[in-house]
Amino acid sequence: MHPAPSVIIFTTLSGLGFGLLTFLGLGLPDVTGMTAFWFFVIGYVLAVGGLMASTFHLGHPERAWKAFSQWRSSWLSREGICAVAALLVMALFGAGLVFFSAVWQPLGYLGAALSLGTVFTTSMIYAQMKTVPRWHMPWTPAKFLTLSLAGGALLAGQITLAVILLVLAGAITLATWIIGDGAFARSGTDMETATGLGRIGTVSAFEPPHTGTNYLLREFVHVVGRKHSLKLRLIAGLLAFVLPVLILLLLPFSHALALVAILSHVAGVATARWLFFAEAEHVVGLYYGKR
Amino acid sequence: MTQLPTSTKKKLGLVIDLDTCVGCHACVISCKGWNTENYGAPLSDQDAYGADPTGTFLNRVHSYSVQPLATSAKPHPAAQTIHFPKSCLHCEDAPCVTVCPTGASYKREEDGIVLVNEKDCIGCGLCAWACPYGARELDQDEGVMKKCTLCVDRIYNENLPEEDREPACVRTCPAGARHFGDFADPDSHVSRLSAERGGIDLMPEQGTKPVNQYLPPRPKDDLPEFDVLAPYLEPVAENPGGFIGWLDKALDKIPGKSA
């Protein structure tokens, strides 16, 4: 799959932002007034910034509001609704904390649930794709949710929780890599089923339908990232999980070091997210004899 | 509405005969022509006369080489070339429809045709992700998703002569490899063709239940495996007389090896 920068920025930043909003909704950290204000600003900048970035890859961003209508069948529609609901509820809860020093906790719990719901609906957009076997498994939402919570805990300054969640998210990310590697072969889709010619013999592409490239090849057959997959996985794993955990466990706490841990984590998650797209193979490539 | 209808009154679709298709791409061109001049946004090209031309097409013809497995009777079976036109299969369980966030993609209850309402399409591309067949292409000029309409603006068009009221690709195919009809009617031309020739679903494991059916190539003729020239190379006369006989003897007398 083509690793579109707008979608990578969106899923990385929004995941982090909604993770932080989840913790703020749960009252972790227990802050009011100006401290609460700045925590909420960080959460909103990340969450809304990511959502805005996601509209850049649309052919017609001015019609994006129509995407709220099809929640009965579409995960993308559900994501839009969940995101707006989470942002509205958390704004009310935040206003209570910032302006009235009031903790309207039920509202906070609702906002936390909606924030996590947004991350879940995002992940289901990918997990539902039967056409991309590497994504089509329950581990995909597990990865998105644990990554969002780990990043959120890190931003919310919940050190113990952050260490636990980073280890968990790291383990699940590793699992998605290992399980994902064999997913295409296990899906049972190959050139023989794609063309229906398997009953005659072994099928290979003889001539493509067009001499140049096209939308399908640009969008679905991205091969550049795959050959560096192992190196990128190492970089992503070190930056996103190992380094932040080591900083939190071994070094005395300081805001500067926490910032290093956060930046390292974000860089690692962005690398892993780039790979999430670049490594994913769509079955349509089979029609071109490619993967 | 992007929920799929529970059933459709008709199941309009195509039968594509892989035995007959000669790979001439006439269907590709007639499709591009009709759908650029009619329903919806035109199918644009980018850098059409430059070094790196690309464009939107709703129908494309692949060509495959198929190598049959060796058997004891046929240790070296010949590979076959098979031309393979591919367009939207108008699936009964169309995954492209349910993922659409705006309701732009829909499957018609009356005839099962899958269409895009371009005024509602935001160009997110998710339907193209969901389609295993590569039947949808995002038009780079218009920013909306394009797909085969089964020439919905031809098949019901009373301004056209009766014989033209079928999809442009079917109308133009010089080999008669494409057939259009209603699969919900078991007695229709396409239903009978598909039943007789063992029509197949593409990627059945994807669970899309495609309406369009592909007819597999018929088994190839078997050439008997012997040297077809052998009968003509045998000596015409074992004991030649006359001039040939004299020449034979004379040449034998010259020292050296003869066959």
Mean pLDDT of B50-66: 96
Q: Is B46 on the interface with A (CB under 8 A)?
A: no
Residues in Cβ contact with A187 at an 8 Å cutoff, skipping those fewer than 6 apart: A130, A133, A136, A283, B205
Q: Is A254 on the interface with B (CB under 8 A)?
A: no
Query: What is the full per-residue pLDDT of chain A (291 aa) written as tens digits?
Result: 999 888 999 899 999 999 999 999 999 999 999 999 999 999 999 999 988 888 888 999 999 999 999 999 999 999 999 999 999 999 999 999 999 999 999 999 999 999 999 999 999 999 999 999 999 999 999 999 999 999 999 999 999 999 999 999 999 999 999 999 999 999 999 999 999 999 999 999 999 999 989 999 999 997 777 778 999 999 999 999 999 999 999 988 788 899 999 999 999 999 999 999 999 999 999 999 987
Provide the shortest C-alpha distance from residue B195 to chain A (in Å).
Answer: 16
B200–A196 C-beta distance less than 8 A: yes
Do residues B203 and A196 touch, judged by C-beta distance below 8 A?
Answer: no
Burial (CB < 10 A; 0-12, 13-18, 19+), residue B239, is exposed
Digit-coded pLDDT (tens) for B26-39: 999 999 999 999 88
Provide the shortest C-alpha distance from residue A21 to chain B (in Å).
Answer: 25
How many A×B Cβ pairs under 8 Å?
Answer: 198
pTM (two decimals): 0.90
Sign of CA dihedral B24, B29, B35, B41: positive
Of B53, B138, B206, the CB nearest to A189: B206
For chain B, where are the E strands, in sequence order?
12-17, 45-46, 54-55, 60-68, 80-86, 105-107, 114-116, 137-138, 145-146, 178-182, 213-215
Residues 211-240 of B with CB under 8 A from A: 214, 216-217
Q: Is B84 on the interface with A (CB under 8 A)?
A: yes
Digit-coded pLDDT (tens) for B62-113: 999 999 988 888 888 889 999 999 999 999 999 999 999 999 999 999 999 9
Of A69, A187, A212, the CB nearest to B54: A212
Structure tokens at B156: 């019901």
pLDDT score for B72: 86
Residues in Cβ contact with A47 at an 8 Å cutoff, skipping those fewer than 6 apart: A13, A14, A17, A18, A21, A83, A86, A87, A115
Residues in Cβ contact with A57 at an 8 Å cutoff, skipping those fewer than 6 apart: A4, A6, A7, B124, B125
Q: DSSP H helical segments within chain B, as ranges? A: 26-37, 95-98, 126-130, 152-155, 168-172, 189-197, 230-233, 242-253
- The amino acid at residue A257 is L
Structure tokens at B231: 């009968």
Closest chain A residue to B51, measured at CA: A212
Residues of B in contact with A203 (CB under 8 A): 64-66
Q: Is B198 on the interface with A (CB under 8 A)?
A: no
Rounded distance, CA B241 to CA B238, Å?
10
Digit-coded pLDDT (tens) for A60-95: 999 999 999 999 999 999 999 999 999 999 999 999
∠ CA B174-B49-A219, rounded to 5°: 80
Rounded distance, CA A176 to CA A94, Å?
35
Of A60, A206, A207, the CB nearest to B122: A60
ipTM: 0.93
Digit-coded pLDDT (tens) for A116-154: 999 999 999 999 999 999 999 999 999 999 999 999 999
Q: What DSSP letter does each residue of A16-42 carry, written as one string?
A: HHHHHHHHHHTTSS---HHHHHHHHHH
Burial A104-131 (b: 16+ CB within 10 A, else e): beebbebbbbbbbbbbbbbbbbbbbbbb
Rounded distance, CA B166 to CA B181, Å?
9
B95–A282 C-beta distance less than 8 A: no
φ, ψ of residue B195 to 5 degrees: the values are -70, -45
